[in-house]
Amino acid sequence: MKAISETIGRQLAHRSVREFTDRAVPEEVLGALFEVMNRTATSTGLQSYSVIRVTDAGQRRRVAEVCGQEYVARATELFIFVADAYRNGAIARAKGYDGEEIRDMDRFFQGFTDAALAAQNLTNAVESLGMGAVYFGSILNDSRAIIEILGLPKHTFPVVGVGFGYPAQEPQLKPRMPISVKVFENRYELPEDFEETVAAYDEEMRGYYDTRANGRRSDSFSDQLVARLENTIDNRAKMLRVVREQGFELGV
Amino acid sequence: MKAISETIGRQLAHRSVREFTDRAVPEEVLGALFEVMNRTATSTGLQSYSVIRVTDAGQRRRVAEVCGQEYVARATELFIFVADAYRNGAIARAKGYDGEEIRDMDRFFQGFTDAALAAQNLTNAVESLGMGAVYFGSILNDSRAIIEILGLPKHTFPVVGVGFGYPAQEPQLKPRMPISVKVFENRYELPEDFEETVAAYDEEMRGYYDTRANGRRSDSFSDQLVARLENTIDNRAKMLRVVREQGFELGV
């Protein structure tokens, strides 16, 4: 597909970059990236997220251990995005607010969404500068540990990590399921040829060489999916327990 | 701040656009936007989200009622992003999978994050084409109603809406809290001058004229925050009940 803007051209070429050169990200670039994050749309203007830039080698190693991915520690820059109702709680209390709403799930999900939007806005900015990025959803393998490592206060919760820098690899574009099974008009409805579409996608995925797997050919999407489901990490399935430990009221 | 890429220049100029001209978004542009969404990074490659493009006037009106914002129905394009474990559940079952992991909170949060990232990627693409966009977090004012309106199956959940089109307004840039209270190195720690920073931001916000409020001057951030907290919508605070009704296992 022909790109109709430079930004879209880069978005269509997006792939995760996991290995980076030694070149540092200049301070002025970091400053611009912080401003981009800060300008991201935010639910009802409340800016309910924070970002921890992890530079300390020991902390990076501990985060990488949670992720089970040693390259996490080697990313040139490592940002952890955090849903944050704590800061606004402090601001509201200084105004005399003494309610419980600061810890409800509305706040949690606003913060979670804000954090994810800011992460993607950062990724687009990073890629516009010839750098590459990778998401670390794996920080949630042990959200308690991440909270401890980063000193996250009550009413905050880690959402996702982003590693970025100047790319030292050029991975193959990873196949995606076609939009016909993902984008619907007016009502959710899988198309009649859903099974055939998945079968064709499974075949396409078998032709994909995963850079992470030392160039080994991939399993089909369906097989990867079942393997993922059968290897669910208990901590992740029970994440809401940690959300509650962080002082949020689940409201259930 | 001087922009160091065209993309970043636009990101730094981001504001919500809520009113659009009559100009339609051409089909080939929509096609490119679908491809951009589809290329967005996705947790463990599982693509656990879907998008409903709402074109039907009656459905748009009902979504706008949930949002309590009549302009939702008037957006040139209206996309609702959905966390989706249903599609992968169907794929896995066709492979003989009969486990319960498809409905755990790991799947829910993967889908929620995937949906939010795709929404922001769409927004960046839209803005690269001279269009404007606005998020509708207000779809969660009544997630049950949105599920019914869009025919969302079990193991899906609405995350956020995006309206976009060619702008018919040029709102003022909305002030943001400085990054010094949002971005931390290694550990979460509000700066010593936190209170002064908030006071200065409150003052800056009073100088902001909100296009939505017919050009009325804004309240301070702190006052807006407390008002928001005191007007929490019960449906939003108790969103997890609807998540459970959608067949997810909360694991708490």
Does residue A218 sit at the B interface (CB-CB below 8 Å)?
no
Instruction: Give the gap in angstroms from C-alpha B142 to the nearest C-alpha of chain A.
Output: 12
Q: Per-residue pLDDT tens for A145-197?
A: 999 999 999 999 999 999 999 999 999 999 999 999 999 999 999 999 999 99
Report residue A3's pLDDT band, with 50, 70 and 90 as the boundaries: confident
Is residue B67 domain-shared with residue B183, that is, in the same domain?
no
In a domain, B13, yes or no: yes
Examine the domain organization and report whether A166 and A185 are in the same domain: no
- pLDDT attached to residue A209: 76
A234 belongs to a structural domain: no
Is B107 in the same domain as B162? yes
Task: Give the pLDDT confidence score for residue B218 in this predicted structure.
Answer: 83
Q: Do both B131 and B199 map to the same domain?
A: no
Q: In 3D, which of A243, A150, A9, A112 has the Cα closest to residue B185?
A: A150
Instruction: Flag whether B24 is in a domain.
Output: yes
> Cβ contacts (< 8 Å) between A185 and chain B: which residues?
52-55
Three-state DSSP at A219 gives coil
Query: Residue B233: how many CB atoms within 10 A of its CB?
Result: 14
- pLDDT for B2 equals 58
Report yes or no on A115 lying in a domain. Answer: yes
Q: In this complex, which of A13, A44, A230 lies closest to B228 when CB atoms are compared?
A: A44
pLDDT at B217: 76
Check if the beta carbon of residue B71 is closer than 8 Å to that of residue A215: no
Do B127 and B187 reside in the same domain of the chain? Answer: no
Residues A167 and A183 in one domain: no
Residues A190-242: tens digit of each pLDDT: 999 999 999 999 999 998 877 666 667 789 999 999 999 999 999 999 999 99
Both structure tokens of A195: 């099974």
Per CB-CB distance under 8 Å, the chain A contacts of B43 are 135, 137
Residues A13, A125 share a domain:
yes
Nearest to A51 among B13, B88, B183 (CB): B183
B16/A50 Cβ within 8 A: no
> Could you tell me if residue B224 is inside a domain?
no
Residue A149: give its domain's CATH number.
3.40.109.10
Number of domains, chain B: 2
Do B50 and B30 share a domain, yes or no?
yes
> Which candidate, B80, B98, B102, B90, places its Cα nearest to that of B246?
B102
pLDDT at A73: 97
Same domain, B76 and B97: yes
Q: Are residues A187 and A97 in the same domain?
A: no
CB neighbourhood size of A10 (10 A): 20
* Domain ranges, residue B84: 6-171
pLDDT band at A108 (very low <50, low <70, confident <90, very high): very high
What's the rounded mean pLDDT across residues A21-47?
98
User: What pLDDT shows up at residue B113?
Assistant: 98
What is the reported pLDDT for A136?
Answer: 98
Which helix (H) or strand (E) segment is A149 a member of? Answer: helix A143-149
Q: How far is A103 from chain B (nearest CA, A)?
A: 9
Low-confidence ranges of chain B (pLDDT < 70): 1-2, 211-215
Q: Does A23 touch chain B (CB under 8 A)?
A: no
How far is the alpha carbon of A175 from chain B, nearest alpha carbon, in Å?
Answer: 9
Q: Do B250 and A252 touch (CB under 8 A)?
A: yes
Q: What confidence tier does A30 reach under pLDDT thresholds 50, 70, 90?
A: very high
Question: B250 and A244: CB-CB below 8 Å?
Answer: no
Reported ipTM: 0.97
Closest chain B CA to residue A239: B105
Indicate whether B86 belongs to any domain: yes
pLDDT of residue B74: 96
